[in-house]
Amino acid sequence: MPTRSHDPVEPSRTDSAPGSAEIAPLEDTHAAAPATVPDEGSRDHGRGHDAELPDVTAGKLGSAWIGLVLGALVTILLLIFVAQNTTSTDVRYLGLEFSLPLGVLILFAAIAGALIMALFAGFRILQLRMRARKARKINARQH
């Protein structure tokens, strides 16, 4: 019976068929390497282990770049949407009558929705700030 690559290989067993290539045993790469402990003289007493590693945390500039790239991608997608939806649509709103391309009309509706959402979010943030300020004043009086 020929040996498959994932079968364990016994060194005493050699049953290779005529004409088949013999498969060499593989080295065990999953064995645990012996742990080495540095001696007292080689340790760096002035700094910790983290001092040797470079700082890989993303800062404010990295976040700004991510926001800029995502904003550019959204802008490109919006431009494609507006360019593909150019059918003129009649609009009647609060007594006004006008005609706009469908893509522009939907874009204006999305912007209006985002502004309304930002307005409510701003009111909620102000409410939470006022509540936190009041709590700080109460805590300051108690201490």
Distance CA 81, CA 102 (A): 10
Residue 45 has pLDDT above 80, yes or no: no
- Check residue 17 and give its pLDDT: 52
Positive or negative: CA dihedral 101, 105, 106, 108: positive
- Check residue 115 and give its pLDDT: 94
Q: At a CB cut-off of 8 Å and minimum separation 6, what does 117 contact?
A: none
- Check residue 112 and give its pLDDT: 92
Please state, as a whole number, how many other Cβ atoms lie within 10 Å of the Cβ of residue 103: 19
Secondary structure in 3-state letters for 84-131: HCCCEEEEEECCEEEEEEHHHHHHHHHHHHHHHHHHHHHHHHHHHHHH
Residue 1 has pLDDT above 70, yes or no: no
Which range scores top for mean pLDDT: 5-9, 81-85, 116-120? 116-120
Positive or negative: CA dihedral 75, 81, 85, 91: negative
Residue 46: strand pairing partners: none
pLDDT digits (tens, 9 = 90+) for 90-129: 989 899 898 989 988 888 888 999 999 999 999 999 999 9
Phi/psi class of residue 140: alpha, beta or left (left: φ > 0; alpha: ψ in -120 to 50)?
A: alpha
- Check residue 44 and give its pLDDT: 52
Distance CA 9, CA 14 (A): 9
Choose the weakest-confidence range: 52-61, 80-89, 98-107. Answer: 52-61
Query: 8 or 84: whose pLDDT is higher?
Result: 84
Distance CA 5, CA 11 (A): 14
